[in-house]
Chain A
Amino acid sequence: MIKLIQRTYIIAFLLYILLPAVLIILLSFSSTSYLQFPPKSFSLKWYNTVFENPKWINALLYSLKVGAISSILSTAISLSFVHGIEKANKFFRFFFLSVIFSSILTPAIVIGISLFFWFSTIQLIESPISLILSHTLISVPIAVWILYDANKKISYNLDKTSLTLGHNHFQSYLKVRLPLLKYSLIISMILTFIISFDEPVISLFITSTTNITLPKAMWDGIRYEINPATLAVSALMIVFTTTLTVITILTTYKKNRDETELNQYR
């Protein structure tokens, strides 16, 4: 009896988690002009309107660009940072990490308006640099979290071995430590990319007049007129982020397999 209740609860829970996304994808193929359930007939009408409208395409391209640059930037900065503090004493490590993680707890809207005023003061608000840097700021904590954990798991004995075998510090880093961090770097780049690609709040305040990001375009679409074109964009975003998440999960499996192998040499 208890088992049955448990089962039902879990299944209900999974449905609760997954159904909204499935529903969006289903309704995006609807052919009527309002959000009708169940849809009467299916068509690709709304996908056509999306792909024919340069507003959506430009927003998509802009988001991809900003996301790619900021993910590389934040992963690079975080990697450098993780190596910077790995041998520092407890006090420094605690201080740096708590400052970085405190930025997660600062509401996005507060970060957004503070950056808006700051970039207006230094007259960078119209440039894509402002958005890239803002996205770097908010995605840095997750990159640090991933890379710090991964780096901690790689034993220094490996570096020492490579040094005794005649590498200098630079070679030993490039040939031993960096390859072992490979999967974590990939995961970090994908996740920071998703953070930037999905970021809705900061983009509301830091937008130039010429370029808007995809979430900002969606926000306008949802807030001012709910039309099925927004639904099609949402469906595309769901498919896109889900693909990236699946890649991340597969990479995590590979990384875990590597780590268990490494543990033999601890």
Chain B
Amino acid sequence: MNLFKISPRIFLTMPMIILFVFLFVIPLSKLFWISLNENYSFSAYSYIFSQKVFGKVFLNTIIISIEASLITVVVCIPVSYFLIQISRKKAALFIGFLTLPFWMSVLVRSFSWIVLLQHEGVVIKLLNLTGFSSASLLYTRGSVLAGMVYIFVPYVILILYTSFNKVDKNLWFTGFSLGANKTEVFLKVFLPQVVSSIFLSAIYVFIISLGYFITPALLGGAKETTISMLIDIDMNQTLNWAQGAAISFLILGLILPIVFIGAILFNRKRFISHD
């Protein structure tokens, strides 16, 4: 097909282009301009880099994100693996149950963890019954991770299940007939085919958690400050708008290279190919 042959169909994309230019490109450019104090000054950025506290928060956010993505993926692999072994109907039912919380409000889901973990809550009561005693589970690293993993689990299961399902089941029998046992087939035949989607889902969770706001803000205390909470403080409390804008661009600066690496490493042409 010729690159320069443009059919009139392309004009149907106009509403979308207008939407994105006016609500995505221009606002982000405006935000960048604000981060420069509307004056080509990099003082907001240099202030952030000069203060240790920002570095600490960035590091904390990155660590939380890594932990969240690792835990989510490790929890989800066995479930997805189980799903491809049972019949399709059962798997569909299971996934149906799974998608119920998937579409529930993030706010409600985070709130449910507040209810679970608070000092009169179920988890503490159960811990007391078994002999452990803990004053509060809320506003700790653990509570932030519990809430975040809970929110990301459905995404990851859906990604992993789709890719696990694509692996040809006959390969197992091929492996067995060539003398390998179950573990060997799993490690040498199955895993190499799905490892890229495992990485992909981990990267996806990592990126989303870097800028996640609601869950850390509700379940983490002042000790577990993340980058997005700094933006909120700048916007709503200190009204230091240039700084809030600059922090936003630092998050984007963190996310962008990871997206590029992800896209290049696992160039999946799902949306591009027309069969």
Contacts and interface: CB of A to CB of B under 8 A. Distances in A.
B98 A17 contact: yes
A186 B193 CA distance: 35
Interface residues of A, number: 89
Interface in B209-227: 210-214, 217-218
Contacts of B31: 110, 113-114, 117
A105 B150 CA distance: 19
Contact of A21 (B19, B79, B112, B275): B112
B172 interface: no
B173 interface: no
Contact of A108 (B7, B99, B211): B211
A91 B3 contact: yes
Contact of B207 (A96, A99, A105): A105
B238 interface: no
Interface string A42-82: 00000000000000000000000000000000001110110
Interface in B243-275: 244-245, 248, 251-252, 255, 259, 263, 271-272, 274-275
Contact of B111 (A101, A107, A230): A230
B79 A117 contact: no
Top 5 A-B residue pairs of the complex, sorted by shortest distance between their CB atoms: A107-B211, A84-B12, A84-B13, A20-B112, A118-B27
Contacts of A148: 271
A159 to B, nearest CB: 13
Contact of A80 (B15, B20, B101, B116): B15
21 contacts: A18-B101, A20-B101, A20-B109, A20-B112, A78-B16, A80-B13, A84-B14, A84-B16, A87-B7, A88-B7, A89-B1, A92-B10, A105-B259, A106-B255, A107-B255, A109-B232, A110-B248, A113-B245, A117-B30, A117-B31, A134-B23
A245 B103 contact: yes
Interface of A: 6, 9-10, 13-14, 16-18, 20-21, 23-24, 27, 34-37, 76-78, 80-81, 83-94, 96-103, 105-111, 113-118, 121, 133-134, 136-137, 140, 148, 152, 191, 194, 197-198, 200-201, 204-205, 215, 218-219, 222-223, 226, 230-231, 234, 237-238, 241-242, 244-246, 248-249
A24 B100 contact: no
A105 B210 CA distance: 10
Interface in B13-37: 13-16, 19-20, 23-24, 26-28, 30-31, 34
Contact of B106 (A86, A198, A244): A198
Given A17-B97, A89-B3, A110-B248, A37 B214 contact: no
B231 A24 contact: no
For the residues of B in contact with A, the DSSP-based class is: helix
B120 interface: yes
Contacts of B248: 107, 109-110, 113-114
A35 B121 contact: yes
Give chain B's interface residue range (CB within 8 Å of chain A). 35 or more
B108 interface: yes
Q: Which of B78, B79, B108 has the most CB of A within 10 A?
A: B108
A201 B104 contact: no
Contacts of B116: 20, 23
B55 interface: no
A84 B11 contact: yes
Contacts of B23: 115, 118, 133-134, 136-137
Given A113-B248, A137-B23, A152 B274 contact: yes
Interface string B77-106: 011001000000000001011111111111
B145 to A, nearest CB: 13
A87 B10 CA distance: 9
B16 A81 contact: yes
A157 to B, nearest CB: 13
B211 A109 contact: yes
A96 B208 CA distance: 21
B272 A93 contact: yes
Contact of A114 (B14, B16, B27, B153): B27
A218 B106 contact: no
Contacts of A78: 16
Given A107-B212, A115-B23, A100 B16 contact: yes
A136 B12 CA distance: 17
Nearest to A200: B107
B63 interface: no
A93 B100 CA distance: 32
B136 to A, nearest CB: 14
A100 B20 contact: yes
A177 to B, nearest CB: 13
Contacts of A23: 112, 115-116, 122
Given A20-B112, A107-B210, A110-B251, A198 B11 contact: no
Nearest to A250: B96
B202 to A, nearest CB: 14
Contacts of A100: 16, 20
